[in-house]
Structure 1
Amino acid sequence: MSHHKEHSFDAYCKTILRRTAANAHKQRKRLAVREIPFSGLSETELNRLCCYDDYESDKQIFTACGREIEIRCDALCLALEALTQRQRDILLLSSCFGLTDNEIGQLLHLPRSTVQYQRKAVLDYIRELMEVTNEQ
């Protein structure tokens, strides 16, 4: 009789292990239908999942004719600080606020040609500074 109990217990244990393994495989299949690995996500989907911390120390605020713009790039902040206030105003009003040379000239009481010349010179200067910074 003892021998029969051993076989019964052995069969019971094997049945439990088979059913547990079968349940685990079914669970994996159910999850595989609903879950996608990160490597399978597109760039757009990954961007929707990310979260960025916003710290006051990570940005600098520049003002141009009473309008404020936040800059988060340290290299760009350094380049903007190297400019005179008038050069910075021209660049920010043009690039960030989309004003034309004529509109900037009216705000700063300068001829349009002066604004155009300084805007081009400042953009060239900023481009050089940024290239040097990126090379380092």
Structure 2
Amino acid sequence: ELNRQRKRAIQFSTLCQHEMDKLCSMDEYPSDSILFTAYGYTLHIRDELVADAFASLPEREQGILILYCVLELTDGEIGSIARMSRSSVQRRRTKALNELRKRLEDDGGRKAK
């Protein structure tokens, strides 16, 4: 058994960076992300720029995106929870996603000062 293991063993110095990356794991802590909550569900955003852009959205749009992204609900299902029509949810969701995209493209999610 030991001989078989020795034949299969390789030295770390012979591994390329891609293979080395597979051998490590990164610890994740709750403090590493920014939390947004709506309707009892939480969205964890690790990227500060994305979190800043998300925080700039109105609370109702944040809630719609949380239900859409976290639970992967349809517009109709979100409407039932948020007490809105399906078309209103779709309109607000589309507008919020476009606003996020615009903020991240224009200024990295930072508000102009």
Alignment partner, residue 3 of structure 2: none
Unmatched segments (≥5 aa) in structure 1: 1-29
The residue number in structure 2 matching 1:104 is 78
Tell me by how many angstroms 1:48 deviates: 2.8
Q: Residue 49 of structure 1: CA displacement?
A: 1.3
Q: In the TM superposition, what whole-angstrom CA distance separates every residue of 1:80-99 from its partner, at most 9, and x where no partner exists?
A: 11011100011111122200
Tell me the TM-score normalised to structure 2 length: 0.76
Q: Contact 2:41–2:66 (CA<8 Å) still a contact in 1?
A: no
Match of 1:91 among 65, 69, 77: 65
Quick one: distance in 1 between partners of 2:15 and 2:105? 34
| Structure 2 partner of 1:129 | 103
What is the CA–CA distance in structure 1 between the aligned matches of 2:10 and 2:29, rounded to whole Å? 35
Aligned residue-pair number: 102
Structure 1 residues 92 and 47: CA distance shift in structure 2, 3 A:
farther
* Residue equivalent to 1:26: none
Q: Which has the higher contact order (CA 8 A, sep 6+)?
A: 2
Q: Is the 8 A contact 2:33 2:44 kept in 1?
A: yes
1:116 partnered with 2:90: yes
What's the offset of the Cα at 1:47? 4.2
Residue equivalent to 2:46: 72
> How far off is 1:64 after superposition?
1.7
Q: Which has the higher helix share?
A: 1
Q: Do 2:61 and 2:92's aligned partners in 1 also have CA atoms closer than 8 Å?
A: yes
Distance verdict in 2 for CA 1:113–1:64, change over 3 Å = same
The answer to whether 1:38 aligns with 2:15 is yes
Identity of aligned residues (%): 34
Whichever of the two has the greater Rg, that structure is 1
Moved over 3 A (4+): none
Structure 2 regions of 5+ residues with no counterpart? Answer: 1-5
* TM-score, normalisation: structure 1: 0.65
- TM-fit CA distance, 1:46: 4.0
Tell me which amino acid in the other structure corresponds to 1:93: L
